[in-house]
Structure 1
Amino acid sequence: MTQETPSRPLQQVLLGIFVLLGFGAIFCMYYNPTTSWFKCPDAAVSEYNVCTEACLSFLEVKNQTQTINNCTVNDTLVEVKELTTKSPQLDKKDSADSSEVVILVWSWPFGQTFDLESCESGYGIKGCRLIIDRNRINEAHGVMFHVRDIGGDVPYLKTLSRPAWQNWVWMNMESPTNSPQLPGMDDMFNLTSNYRTDSDVWVPYGHLVEASEEDKAFQIPQKDKLVCWIVSHWEDKLWRVEYFNEFSQHINVEGYGRHFGRYIDNKDYFKVMSSCKFYLAFENSVHKDYITEKLFNPLMHGTVPVVIGPPRENYEKFIPADSFIHVNDFKTAKELAEHLKLLDQSQEMYEKYFAWRKHFVPKLSNFGQEHACLICNHLKRNKNFRVFKNVNAWYWG
C-alpha cells in the first residue's frame, strides 16, 4: 500500500504554522517587546522560571497590562528572563513588589538589634524591607544613620556618590547636650528622624493611646515609699543634681542606682518604681520636646512623675496636665517637698493624678525599629525631592 501524501492545502497550512512559530521565536529573542500585554502571571512561573500551560492560556487573553522582556518561545514553553532593571536596583527576590521601599540601617543604634521583619506586624506598614548589609547600599531608597554611631564613618561617607533618588536620614534620640555634631556633613542629609515634633519623621520616647476595657480597670499599686529616684549618671554640675541636693534636705528620698550604691536589676526596676508614690523624672538636660522614658516609665507603672525638663506647656502637648507635677510650679524645692507631704496625707487628692487612666494608657516607643519603619512609611508616602539644610544649626541652634 502506498502512503498518501498530504494534500497541497494542508501542506500550506502546516507550513504557515511553522513559519509563524519561527517568526515568534525570533521576535521574542531580539525585539525585547515593551508592549503591555505579554507577561505570565506570577503563579504560572515555576521555580525554573518557565511558564506552564497557565501562561500559555494567559497569553491568549487580550488587553493584558503587564510587561516581560527577553522571552524565548519553544513549542509550548516560554522561558522567563529577569525583568528590566529599575532604580533602585533590587535583586530578583526584592523585585517581587515594585512598590516596596528598602531602608538600609547603617548601624544598629547603640548596638541594639531589632527585628528587620517587623514593620507590618508591629506598625501595620506594608511594603517595607529593612536591611543591615552595607554592601547593598545601592538598593536602598533610604539610609538611616544613627548620629551617635557614625563619627568614624564620616570620611568614607563623604566619598560615596549616592543616587539622586536615595535619601539619607539623620536619626537621633539624644538631646543636643549629649549628641556630637558632624563637621562636614551639615548639608548631606535629606530627612531627620527625632523626638522633636518639627522633625520630618517624629518618633517620641512614648505616647498615650486609647485604653482598652482591660486597661480601664487600672488600680493604683500598693505604696510603701513616698519619693524615689533611680539614677546612675551623676554630675554635680547638672541642674537636676543641684535641685536634688536642695530638695532632699526637706523630704526623704529613696535613692537607687550606681550613685547611691543600691544597684537594682531590670527585674526589680519597675517593682521598686511602682512601690513609690512619686518618682523623680529628672531629665539630664533641658531642651524642647526632650521628654524621655524617665517620664513614661512611672506613668506606665502607677507612679506620679515629678519632672525636670522643658516647660510645663511642652509636657502638656503629650500628657494630661493633671498626670504629673512640674518643679517649676513651685518657687522653691522646699515648697515642692511640702506639697508632696500634703498629697501623702490625702488619698483623694493623690488619686486625682490617675483620673486620666480611665481613658488612656502609656506606651513606649521601640527605639531603632520604630524609627526605621516610620522612615520607610514616610518615603512611601512622600516621593518628592527633599534636602535638609544646616542640620547642625537646626538641632544645636
Structure 2
Amino acid sequence: MSLSSCQMTCQRQIAFGCLLLVCFVVVFFTYYKPEIEFPDCSDYLKRGNHSCVCPVEAQTQGSNPNPPTDGPQQIQDVEVDAEPDTLLLIWMWPFGHKFDLSCDMFKYKGCRLTDDKSLYHKAHGVFIHHRDIHGNLENLPSEPRPWFQKWVWWNMESPTHCAKLPRLDNLFNLTFCYRSDSHIPAPYGHFLPQTSEVESFQLPTKDKLVCWIVSNWNAAFKRVQYYNELKEHIQIETYGRAFGKNVDDQNYDSIVSSCKFYLSFENSQHKDYITEKLFKPMRLGAVPVVLGTSRENYENHIPGDSFIHVNDFSSPKELAERLLHLGQDTTEYMRYFDWKKRYKVEDTQFGREHACKACRYLQENRGYHASHNLTKWFWDQ
C-alpha cells in the first residue's frame, strides 16, 4: 500500500471514530439528561483578587481563599457583589419543634436556612436530627445526593438515650453534637472571657442549702441511686415532675438562684456529656455538684475550682458533710465563684443556634468530608 493510501485510511478511521464519539454524546445527553448547572464565574470568585476559575478547579481548591492566578482558564477583572448564600436544609424538625430560620442574630452573613424539601437539589447541606430518624431510614432523603451536598448528623442526646442505627455508617459527611471531637462541636454551654472589668460578684439571696429539679426518674439511673443515699445525710429540696412539682422557666431561675448547691446530675455518664444541668445553675449563682463524666473531662470545659464532683468523696455521706461545712463557712464557699471575675457563662440555644452554626461551618469548609464509622465513634467507645 502506498504512503498516500495509508494516510487516507488513517484519516477515515479517525473520522469514523469521531463520528461514533459525537453520536454517543448526543445519545447520552438525550436520554440521561443530567441535572448539571454550570455556575456563573461569579460563583467561584475568590476573596482577595478579581479572578475566577473554572468549576473543576474551584472544587479541588476547597476553602483556599487565595487560589493561584496563573493559567489559561482564568478570566480577569470580573466583579461580583458576593458569593452565593450557603443553603442548609432542615430535613426534620427536632422532636417536631419548629424554630426561627433566620441567622441574623448570630451575624452569620450568607447563611440561609430552609425547611422546603423542594430545595433539596440546591442545598449545600442537609441537617438531620438523629432522634427523629426512623429505624428503617425510610424518612431520609431518597433522591441521589448532589455532588456538592453534605449530610450533617445532628444529635444532642447521649448514647444511652438514642438508638444505635448501624445503617448510618458511610451515610453522613459531618457530625454535629456535644462531643468535642465532633466535626462541629456543640457544647450545651460555654465560658467566655470577661471583656471588661467586672464588679464584685453579688451572691443571690440563699434560703436553701441543696436543691434538685428532675423530671426523668428511673430507679436504675446512677443519679437516682446516689440521691437516695445522699438524702439520708442532708436535706435536699426537690422539684420537678418526678416529685409532682412542675417547674416553669421563671420558677426555675428563682429556685436555683436561692440554693447554695444544685445537684447537676446527668442522666447518663459519657465523654463530654455535660448539659444545661451544669451551665444554668452556674449562671444563676449556685455551686453545681456534678455526677456525670470524670472530673478531668469536666475541667476540659469549666474551671476546676468552680464545681464539686461526687467522685472526690468516698461516699454520699462524706459529700454531705462537706456541703454542710461549706454552708456554714461563707469565705470558703465564695471561692467557688472566683471564676466570675474572669469568665461569664453562655447557654447554647437548641435548634436555631445549632442550625446556624452548621451552616457557618459549611460556608467555611467547602472541602470533602466523610463520617464512615459513626456507630463505632459515638456508641462503641
Give the TM-score, by structure 1 length.
Answer: 0.74
Deviations 1:323-379 (A, max 9, x none): 000000000000000000010110000000001101111100111122211212211
Alignment partner of 1:111 out of 90, 96, 104: 96
Helix, strand or coil at the partner of 1:313: helix
- Report the alpha carbon displacement of residue 304 of structure 1 after superposing the two structures with TM: 0.2
Matched, 1:245 2:258: no
Alignment partner of 1:302 out of 285, 289, 301: 285
- Segments of structure 1 that go 5 or more residues without pairing to the other structure are 1-33, 37-62, 68-95
2:351 aligned partner? 368
Q: Higher relative CO (CA 8 A, sep ≥ 6), structure 1 or 2?
A: 2
- Segments of structure 2 that go 5 or more residues without pairing to the other structure are 1-39, 43-75
1:356 aligned partner? 339
1:100 aligned partner? 85
Matched, 1:163 2:176: no
Structure 1 residues 128-137 or 334-343, which shifts more? Answer: 128-137
Alignment partner of 1:130 out of 104, 110, 113: 113
1:202-213 residue pairs with structure 2 within 5 A? 202-213=185-196
Matched, 1:231 2:244: no
Cα distance between partner residues in 2 of 1:348 and 1:98? 56
Runs of 4+ in 1 over 6 A off after TM superposition: none
8 Å Cα contact 1:147/1:170 also seen in 2 = yes
1:184 aligned partner? 167
Give the TM-score, by structure 2 length.
Answer: 0.77
Matched, 1:387 2:370: yes
2:272 aligned partner? 289
Number of residue equivalences: 308
Helix, strand or coil at the partner of 2:172: coil
RMSD of Structure 2 on Structure 1 (CA): 2.0
- Report the alpha carbon displacement of residue 64 of structure 1 after superposing the two structures with TM: 5.3
Identity %: 49
Cα distance between partner residues in 1 of 2:79 and 2:330? 69
Cα distance between partner residues in 1 of 2:108 and 2:198? 25
Alignment partner of 1:121 out of 105, 130, 136: 105
Tell me which amino acid in the other structure corresponds to 2:273: Y
Q: 1:176 to 1:272 in 2, by over 3 A?
A: same
- Report the alpha carbon displacement of residue 151 of structure 1 after superposing the two structures with TM: 1.6
Cα distance between partner residues in 2 of 1:356 and 1:236? 35
Helix, strand or coil at the partner of 1:367: coil
Matched, 1:261 2:259: no
- Report the alpha carbon displacement of residue 184 of structure 1 after superposing the two structures with TM: 2.3
Alignment partner of 1:65 out of 78, 99, 104: 78
Cα distance between partner residues in 1 of 2:353 and 2:181? 17
Helix, strand or coil at the partner of 1:370: helix
Cα distance between partner residues in 2 of 1:313 and 1:141? 38
Cα distance between partner residues in 1 of 2:306 and 2:95? 31
Q: 1:260 to 1:121 in 2, by over 3 A?
A: closer
Cα distance between partner residues in 1 of 2:286 and 2:328? 16
Structure 1 residues 372-381 or 273-282, which shifts more? Answer: 372-381
- Report the alpha carbon displacement of residue 258 of structure 1 after superposing the two structures with TM: 1.5
Cα distance between partner residues in 2 of 1:35 and 1:155? 38
